[in-house]
Structure 1
Amino acid sequence: MSDKMNPISFEQLLKRLLDEYRINNSFLSVPVSRNTDMDYISAIGPAAGPHTQLAGNIVAAYGAGASHFELKTVQIIDGEALGIVKPCIYSSQEVYNTEWSTELTVKQAADEYIKAYILLKILIQELQLGNINGFNFIMSIGYNLAGIQSKKIDEFIENMKNAKETNEWKKDIEYILSHLEMFENVTQDFVESISPAISHTIALSTMHGCKNEEIESIARYCIEKKALNTYVKMNPTLLGNDAIRTILDSMGYTHITFDDEIFETDLDFPNAVKMITVLLEIAKKEGKAFGVKLTNTFQVKINRNELAGENMYLSGTPLYPIAIAVAAKLEAEFDGKLPISYSGGADTSNVEEILKTGIYPVTISSILLKPGGYKNITKMNVQADKHERVKTGTVDVEALNDLAKKAITHLEYCKKVEKSFAISKDYSLLCGKCNNCVDVCPNRANKKIVKDKKTYVIHYDRLCNQCGNCSFFCIAGHKPYLDKLTIFDSMEAFHSSENEGLVMDGKDPIFRIKNDEVKEQVKEKIKCLEEYYEF
């Protein structure tokens, strides 16, 4: 089984999404739940991570109610050269990962983002889902000035600013124009009116240890030379070693350890304030927006064999009191006039309070890896929509300070006993008991199917990158990405895997199932699922 994703073509995705919506009111098994008011834009969206890596993921998140999409980070090192060891996600109450940018090549990533953008425009118009401009793509790039100025990344940025001359744009638009009979509300005039400006906003990601001069140089380059609205991702280390250690210990996370040296090499608070002050003035002069993204994940030690390697990146529940404290500390310096895009443990219990301070938008990742998956966006919107955003451009410093104080005493964010599931011997290749593996898969590689009042779940090899997230929530204690009946899209993929499953040879399926009795049972059941043999 390969740990490399194989993106779905525009034509396949469009047909699948239209058909699924018309039958089930869903996108890739995620129920579509959106406010269709033409003026409505949600304050919520996925952060740069596994949920903004493939076009289908982005559409699924939009269907759940997202409006802001921080695209997965691209950098000069891409594809297989990244060498990411799988599994790369560990989900308990806290979440860890060892992936740091898109696993696709930069060219593939650009194609996925262009594809997603066009799909959303067409789906919104055809299915009357609301504001045609009611979503926002934010590029995420890293990690140093030399890499960002390279031809590879420069072409990516320019193609995101204007995708009209890209092969993906031309191919997808041509396909729509030659298949207008598929639609009721999409016309030639509408298609030709779609702006090719995918994004004019960037979130700058830098490595731990990157000096303030380098960060400032990159941000200046993005603002002055590339004419981009720019947000700089800040590290949790701005809060300081002692403060972070105190927060983690007081909330029960004594097992989380980190190297003291990261506080010596990362950007410190005084230099961050100086840099931000300079960049705010430059952005004002250039007529561009500038702000900070709070916060990046937090680099910690691997000391319980959670993942492979020496270091991993912490997010989720324990990051919230740290990230919100960084936000409060910075806003106190800038009298509430520093624009903040927030990410760091946001969930249904705190999103309304975060937005009430004036912070906007809020992007999420860890909560989407937990039970409910993309549907947690819908739940967060219920809370977020209770707050009517006042566009003053300022943050209530006092309210933010109060929120930071509350976070470190709130039981919701304290360490709890982790759940563990005993391995069930009667686990079925087609098990559909809890469907957790369907919800928590960021890539939509596990699909729930209901046939004749029976529920099945099958696994698509081409969409799985073996992140491992589904294994933490299987109530039968199994690893669905390895133990589910797997549908392969090629003989090569079939023979290179040990997963039990099938591949199509012409019109006939070839099965690999170890137990002969189970094989006959599955063969009988799978007859009713033939329409799902391909994505």
Structure 2
Amino acid sequence: MAELYPAPFANLIDRVFREFSGEGKIFDLPRRSFYRADPKLSTDVSFLGRRAATPVGPAAGPQSQLAQNIVLAWLAGARIIELKTIQINDRLEIPRPCIDVRTIGFNVEWSQELRLEDSLREYVAAWMLIRMIREAGILDREESHGETIFDLSVGYDLEGIRHPRVSGFIRQLQDATTIIEELRAQIPDAYGRFRDIDYDPHVIGSATLSTFHGCPAGEIEQIVDFLMTTFHLDVVIKMNPTLLGYERVERLLHEMLGYTEIELDPSAFEHDLQFDEALEITKRLARRAESLGVRLGVKFSNTLVVKNHDTYFSEDVMYMSGPPLHVITLNLVDRFRKAEGGSLPISFSAGVDQKNFP
């Protein structure tokens, strides 16, 4: 597998300001595509008790693991940024290609592409670069309400999350002072004014939990409790679309949407968290969160496990996203909201694009 190496922090800083002054771009994104806040329109939303300046941002994935990609999302208007999922196993052999977006969206990609230590520096580097760009006054119009929120995505089981390397990673994003000082020293002399910025060391205050398919309900509950009690984090539980049930998903996918070539994997529906279990653990965890003074949310949804019907990948199964997942997840949110009663905040991530986002 080809190794992924982050660009040096000093090089990223130099490119941001040289490219902008010379070409009116940052990481090839032209200035005309930068987000410009409308002073007459309030776009801020509540995210686990904090005000985000806009309600949009990238979900955890390869597009939110490198500093330059996170900055690009921010320049385009993202203000809730779910960082790519980190896990204890950072020596994975990831097949290439691992993403197919020719029509719908399939992948066989897992985190962790970077070493944990590299991911930590990338997230803090992005945090600092965004602050530098703001201080430089590059955006024509900045939002007057709300902030930029980094949300950590962590997986995949209790043993891995309890490991000192993962626990240490979380603590270093809660207080990134050491990494900030390390990166501050790498700021080139030409941009020395940015060394004097008082960078906020509190990079994260929340985490989205991503678990293996088939993770037992009891273990999910234990992980959430661990994150809330040990780190005092607000926690979002990422749910799988299998919660909607095999028959309902198959009917939507084949009869309603016409994606008859996509074959579901019945075992995924049998072994994943069940709908009634999801309701039970979220009720208990919501009470637990309240007693600890933190917040609980849910996210819909993860990708959908399907059988590989093509030759693009060599694996037996792949993970579906895109337009069909959008419809499936909307139906799942509707069912969950009606059953749960509307007390839990929901993050939505499934096939969102410019055609279906207002």
TM-score in same-fold range (> 0.5): yes
How far 1:37 sits from its partner (Å)? 6.4
Q: CA offsets per residue over residues 146-204 of structure 1, 9 Å max, x none?
A: 100001101110011111123xx22222344x73x5377x572xx1x221111111000
Question: Residue 16 in 1 paired to residue 15 in 2?
Answer: yes
Structure 1: unaligned runs, 5 residues or longer: 353-535
Structure 2 counterparts to residues 62-73 of structure 1, below 5 A: 62-73=74-85
Structure 2 Cα separation of the partners of residues 283 and 128 of structure 1: 40
Q: Are the counterparts in 1 of residues 86 and 155 from structure 2 also a CA contact under 8 Å?
A: yes
Structure 2 Cα separation of the partners of residues 134 and 26 of structure 1: 23
Q: 2:279 aligns with which of 254, 273, 283?
A: 273
Structure 2 Cα separation of the partners of residues 139 and 311 of structure 1: 27
Aligned-residue sequence identity (percent) comes to 34
Structure 1 Cα separation of the partners of residues 147 and 137 of structure 2: 14
**In the alignment, what sits opposite 2:163?**
150
**In the alignment, what sits opposite 1:26?**
25
- Matched AA of 2:251: T
Question: Residue 206 in 1 paired to residue 211 in 2?
Answer: yes
**In the alignment, what sits opposite 2:48?**
none
Structure 2 Cα separation of the partners of residues 229 and 128 of structure 1: 32
**In the alignment, what sits opposite 2:110?**
100
Question: Residue 53 in 1 paired to residue 54 in 2?
Answer: no
Larger-Rg structure: 1
Q: 2:95 aligns with which of 78, 85, 103?
A: 85
Q: Are the counterparts in 2 of residues 126 and 183 from structure 1 also a CA contact under 8 Å?
A: no
How far 1:27 sits from its partner (Å)? 1.6
**In the alignment, what sits opposite 1:74?**
86
Q: Are the counterparts in 1 of residues 301 and 349 from structure 2 also a CA contact under 8 Å?
A: yes
Structure 2 Cα separation of the partners of residues 317 and 93 of structure 1: 9
Structure 1 Cα separation of the partners of residues 2 and 63 of structure 2: 16
- Matched AA of 1:326: L
**In the alignment, what sits opposite 1:116?**
126
**In the alignment, what sits opposite 1:170?**
181
Superposed structure 1 runs of 4+ greater than 4 Å apart: 36-40
- Matched AA of 1:292: V
- Matched AA of 1:261: S
**In the alignment, what sits opposite 2:2?**
3
3-state SS of paired residue (1:165): helix
Question: Residue 138 in 1 paired to residue 151 in 2?
Answer: yes
Q: 1:126 aligns with which of 112, 136, 143?
A: 136
Structure 2 Cα separation of the partners of residues 127 and 283 of structure 1: 39
3-state SS of paired residue (1:127): coil
How far 1:50 sits from its partner (Å)? 1.4
Structure 1 residues 262 and 274 mapped into 2: Cα distance closer, same or farther (>3 Å)?
Answer: same
TM-score scaled by structure 1?
0.61
- Matched AA of 1:68: I
Structure 1 Cα separation of the partners of residues 283 and 10 of structure 2: 47
Structure 2 counterparts to residues 235-274 of structure 1, below 5 A: 235-250=240-255, 251-274=257-280
Q: Are the counterparts in 2 of residues 26 and 63 from structure 1 also a CA contact under 8 Å?
A: no
3-state SS of paired residue (2:320): strand
How far 1:36 sits from its partner (Å)? 4.6
Structure 2: unaligned runs, 5 residues or longer: 45-52
Structure 2 counterparts to residues 106-505 of structure 1, below 5 A: 106-129=116-139, 130=142, 134-166=147-179, 169-176=180-187, 179=189, 182=191, 186=194, 188=196, 191=197, 193-250=198-255, 251-352=257-358
Structure 2 Cα separation of the partners of residues 182 and 148 of structure 1: 38
Superposed CA RMSD: 1.9
**In the alignment, what sits opposite 2:55?**
43
Structure 2 Cα separation of the partners of residues 37 and 149 of structure 1: 44
3-state SS of paired residue (2:321): strand
Q: Are the counterparts in 1 of residues 89 and 112 from structure 2 also a CA contact under 8 Å?
A: no
3-state SS of paired residue (2:310): coil
Q: Are the counterparts in 2 of residues 53 and 102 from structure 1 also a CA contact under 8 Å?
A: no
**In the alignment, what sits opposite 2:49?**
none
- Matched AA of 2:182: K
Structure 2 Cα separation of the partners of residues 13 and 255 of structure 1: 44
Q: Are the counterparts in 1 of residues 254 and 260 from structure 2 also a CA contact under 8 Å?
A: yes
3-state SS of paired residue (2:326): helix
3-state SS of paired residue (1:138): strand
Structure 1 Cα separation of the partners of residues 182 and 143 of structure 2: 25
3-state SS of paired residue (1:46): coil
Structure 1 residues 163 and 187 mapped into 2: Cα distance closer, same or farther (>3 Å)?
Answer: closer
3-state SS of paired residue (2:263): coil
3-state SS of paired residue (2:353): coil
TM-score scaled by structure 2?
0.91
